[in-house]
Amino acid sequence: MPGDCSFDYAVIRVVPDVTCEEFVNAGVILFCRTRRYLAAQIELDEHRLIALAPQLDVASVRRHLALIPAICAGAGPIGRMGKAEAFHWLVAPHSTTIQCSPVHAGITDDPAQSLARLMASYVRR
């Protein structure tokens, strides 16, 4: 579908200890209503996370992060609610360890390419 469309996105963060205010960016979730596009990519830098919080159960964090792309793909009751509802549920605060940044907006003609660009900028840097 040609043409630009607006999108919303949030950076997914792992916050091992909220009192220290340190976090590791672990992914990005992107929603484009006009293209009916909702997707998330996750790449957890486990070495960096362990350096921040050696006591953290990284396997549990990994399992919880894996739910985000699955929900975006329509899995489970949240994924079946619809793309807009799933996006808003995913970015809403409900965990102290896995959090999302504030929601930001952008314009794109290719939501998947924008998701890849955001991953490169905020997660893989």
The predicted structure's pLDDT at residue 20: 86
E strand or H helix at 70, and its extent? Answer: helix 58-72
* Contact present, 12 and 25 (Cβ < 8 Å): yes
Residue 60 lies in domain: 5-122
* pLDDT tens series, the chain, 125 aa: 467 999 999 999 999 988 888 999 999 999 999 999 999 999 999 999 999 999 999 999 999 999 999 999 999 999 999 999 999 999 999 889 999 999 999 999 999 999 999 999 999 98
- This prediction has a pTM of 0.94
The predicted structure's pLDDT at residue 19: 86
Exposed/middle/buried for residue 67 (C-beta within 10 Å: 0-12, 13-18, 19+): middle
* Contact present, 10 and 93 (Cβ < 8 Å): no
The predicted structure's pLDDT at residue 2: 64
Total count of domains within the chain: 1
* Contact present, 10 and 42 (Cβ < 8 Å): no
E strand or H helix at 117, and its extent? Answer: helix 111-122
- Name the DSSP letter for residue 81: T
The predicted structure's pLDDT at residue 5: 96
